[in-house]
Structure 1
Amino acid sequence: MTQAVLAAERIQSLDISLNDLPVGTLVRTPGDYNAFNLLPAYRAMNNPPVFSLSLRSADGGLRRDPKPIRRALPPFFANLLPEEKLREAMEKHHAASVRPGNDFDLLAALGGDLPGAVRALPSDGSPVVAGPEAQGRNTRFSLAGVQMKLSVMKNTGKQGGITLAVGDGQGQYIAKFPSLTHIGLSENEFALMALAEALGMEVPARELVDKTEFTGIPDEFTTQSTGKVLLVRRFDRGDGDTRVHIEDFAQVFGRYPSEKYNGGAYHNIGAALTSGVSFDSAIEFARRLALAAITGNGDMHLKNWSLLYPGDGRTPMLAPVYDMLSTIPYLPKDGLALSLAGEKSLQALTPERWRNFANRSRLPEGAVLTAVAETAAAVRDKWLVLPERDVVPAQVRARIDAHIDEMVPLLDP
């Protein structure tokens, strides 16, 4: 057997916790099955902190443990892992203990610094072996998604700079590196996030920085792309080592990452917010959805909407805006990531479609139509005078401008 196989097979069980609260155990069984079981002590708690709404029944109680799954993690855990090129980089970086394509191996390697408050650590307390290139520094970081991004921290003192988080959960920022194929992607997102904030939406702090400000970035994560790095404050990290639990709607609906574009529709998210969070959060979701349509964001799939569990972790709230950018400059015929009242074409989002969405989301038609029209009017008033739009490359900005000009009269007739 290779060293990677031996190192990976040594870990057969992961202890799952929310911050310091033990929640369950994820076990790798013979035949390559993965079984997740909630701990009796967690089940016995009166109104325990939410681990995942997918494990809650209609009456608020906890469902039975899911059946073991062969060659795959349960959806909740699969959605904690990076995808595509980012996953390839993570697997290479942890080659000493991660076999390509093995989700359990990768979760074990990254389990100390997962999104939100979840930890997945070897039950026997043994450390996970890192690759030779990682020896001497802590590299247990995980960010779900496909863009090249890392969890980083700002250094204080005279030297300053930005480096990888040096301990589990210490990364306070997400560094999103520029794309090789999409010009001005970081600047695009920076400006659209600023627009969302100008519209009164909750948006994390962000800034554009040069790649030269970073030190200690592994070779697997460096690219020849040009442009700025977008630095975004993590809203799943609080002061000190505090972690705030979060789950995206692929996790809420029990869907795998491969189903993020077809595992639900926007009215499913709206209805879940209406019944499980609040009327205000559902209307805010409609506002953000309208903003995505107006600015041409065709990538707001299930993993780009999340619930946050602040405080005692028992009450969900709609997470701040993230991954809000325009895809239209790069994919001129792009449509919505999910269907809105059975439609994905941006130009087909007539008032009738929004009424249909409102009904399926169990929201008053008038409240939704008002939210959509007010959002369109606000974009028209604020986008052209927004200072941050000037950082977007001219050709990208021109395509965003043209799309907004087309969409605003449709949504605010």
Structure 2
Amino acid sequence: MKVLVDTPQGLSGRLLRADGEYLFSFDANASEDAAPALGMPLRPLPFRRKSLFPVFQMNLPEGFVLEQIKLRLAKAGIADPLLLLSVIGSHSPIGRLRFNLESPETSGLPVVAGGRPGVRLAELLANKESKALFARLVDDFVLRSGLSGVQPKVLVPEAPPAQASAADQLLTNEKAAVTTSDLIVKSGLDVYPGLSINEFFCMSVVKRAGLPVPEFFLSDDGELFIMRRFDRPADGSRLGFEDMAALAGVDTDEKYKGSYKTVLKLLSFYCSPGGYQSAKSQLFDMVALSCILGNGDAHLKNFGVLYEGVRAEVAMAPAYDIVCTRLYIPDDTLALTLDGSKVFFAARQGLLSFGVECGLKPNSIGPRLAQLAQLTLDMLEEMADTVARLPGLRNAIEPEALLYRRTFAGGA
């Protein structure tokens, strides 16, 4: 069985498994620009690995999405990662790569329908039975949802607004035949109660702090967090995306290993010179806000880079997947080590050292931390009605923000 790996720059090559290892070989006509990853440049010899290459693992679903896909594909007997990759990666996976079996007619795999009607954002936001709606979305679209992370989520094609003219809708439909404008729809369901409100608040803080974020929304009933994918610009192109686990060359199950300094080193190696300084500042703020907000899930897969092609400019991806995990796990720890520790209490001192490593002036780090803490406290007041809809959220965040403000308000 061979899987064709395609890029916007042309066919890249073939992925297969033989003799207990995975092999990726470039197509004879592949160009340098068609390389599948920043760390897999064009070469005559195949790449070999015992487990699936991290850049391809990145496109495999995890958690809730994986379980839902397994349920639907159980009769087809799909347990092989290459078969799964070809099912969910043939239509609209995250990033610029697409995957198809070289001989699909012999696979017996279900076809992922790309022409299903999309869903209007306004309908998602206004629906008063979001849990039931989410279940329907999962049924309709889970086989096209190559999304990592354990949170219940699904990738949904966005339909044009109801007020769009017939000509605009026709243009949108024509564009969708090439690439789909998608919405990532998340729900905490009963596993993580209130997770949508939680993420909406935390991402609102991150946005107010001036960090780049995708466009995001909260449904009226607070049950759905909706985000536009950031790897599909308005011109319909497919941007390359690689998370830090892929860049580090480690398997998905190693996403909690390493440190935030590891992320910094990867940015220094892969980011283009013109964007490295802003990437360092963004990384510091993301780590600092994770400490203030109690986000214990800022692991390697929740940081990444974006690029048009492997030889084009590489920039840090927008911030995403930031939630207060301490609401659900009061004794949670940081996902990666910070100055040798994963303890939230020690993070205040660790951030001072990390800020210097990120290129911040020592006398600016304390004031920035105080500013981020004050901004968080201000947002708790500004969004008080939203925060009150999730009991415990204020109590999970406010004490830490007050501690950071008290510690750093006078500088550091």
Q: TM-score, normalised by structure 2?
A: 0.79
For residues 6-32 of structure 1, the C-alpha deviation after alignment (integer angstroms, 9 at most, x for no partner) is xxxxxx111112225222210133x45
Partner of 1:33: 21
CA distance in structure 2 between the aligned counterparts of 1:241 and 1:123, rounded to whole angstroms: 26
Matches within 5 A, 1:103-142: 103-112=81-90, 113-124=92-103, 126=105, 129-130=108-109, 139-142=143-146
CA distance in structure 1 between the aligned counterparts of 2:351 and 2:300, rounded to whole angstroms: 19
**Alpha-carbon shift at residue 169 of structure 1 (Å):** 4.8
Matches within 5 A, 1:227-306: 228-239=223-234, 241-262=236-257, 264-277=258-271, 278-306=276-304
CA distance in structure 2 between the aligned counterparts of 1:40 and 1:409, rounded to whole angstroms: 62
Contact 2:244–2:266 (Cα < 8 Å) also in 1: no
Which of 148, 153, 173 aligns to 1:144? It is 148
CA distance in structure 2 between the aligned counterparts of 1:62 and 1:371, rounded to whole angstroms: 45
Per the alignment, do residues 107 and 210 of structure 1 end up closer, same or farther by CA in structure 2, a change over 3 Å counting?
farther
Contact 1:50–1:313 (Cα < 8 Å) also in 2: no
Per the alignment, do residues 167 and 250 of structure 1 end up closer, same or farther by CA in structure 2, a change over 3 Å counting?
farther
Counterpart AA for 1:87: L
**Alpha-carbon shift at residue 128 of structure 1 (Å):** 6.2
**Alpha-carbon shift at residue 126 of structure 1 (Å):** 4.1
For residues 324-346 of structure 1, the C-alpha deviation after alignment (integer angstroms, 9 at most, x for no partner) is 11111111111110001101111
Counterpart AA for 2:326: I
Per the alignment, do residues 159 and 64 of structure 1 end up closer, same or farther by CA in structure 2, a change over 3 Å counting?
same
Q: TM-score, normalised by structure 1?
A: 0.78
CA distance in structure 1 between the aligned counterparts of 2:223 and 2:229, rounded to whole angstroms: 18
Unmatched 5+ residue regions in structure 2?
117-140, 165-175
CA distance in structure 1 between the aligned counterparts of 2:106 and 2:401, rounded to whole angstroms: 51
Which of 333, 343, 346 aligns to 1:345? It is 343
Aligned residue for 2:264, secondary structure, equals helix
**Alpha-carbon shift at residue 88 of structure 1 (Å):** 1.5
RMSD: 3.4
Counterpart AA for 2:223: K
Counterpart AA for 2:270: G
For residues 146-201 of structure 1, the C-alpha deviation after alignment (integer angstroms, 9 at most, x for no partner) is 212111123346599xxxxx978525110112231322100110111111111111
CA distance in structure 2 between the aligned counterparts of 1:133 and 1:23, rounded to whole angstroms: 22
Unmatched 5+ residue regions in structure 1?
1-11, 161-165, 212-226
Contact 1:358–1:368 (Cα < 8 Å) also in 2: yes
Partner of 1:406: 403
Identity, in percent, stands at 26
Q: Write 1 or 2 for the structure with the bigger share of helix.
A: 2
Contact 1:245–1:313 (Cα < 8 Å) also in 2: no
Per the alignment, do residues 381 and 14 of structure 1 end up closer, same or farther by CA in structure 2, a change over 3 Å counting?
same
Per the alignment, do residues 190 and 157 of structure 1 end up closer, same or farther by CA in structure 2, a change over 3 Å counting?
closer
Partner of 1:73: 52
Answering whether residue 10 of structure 2 is matched by residue 21 of structure 1, we say: yes
CA distance in structure 2 between the aligned counterparts of 1:68 and 1:289, rounded to whole angstroms: 32
Aligned length: 370
Counterpart AA for 1:66: F
Contact 1:203–1:320 (Cα < 8 Å) also in 2: yes
Per the alignment, do residues 39 and 50 of structure 1 end up closer, same or farther by CA in structure 2, a change over 3 Å counting?
closer
**Alpha-carbon shift at residue 132 of structure 1 (Å):** 10
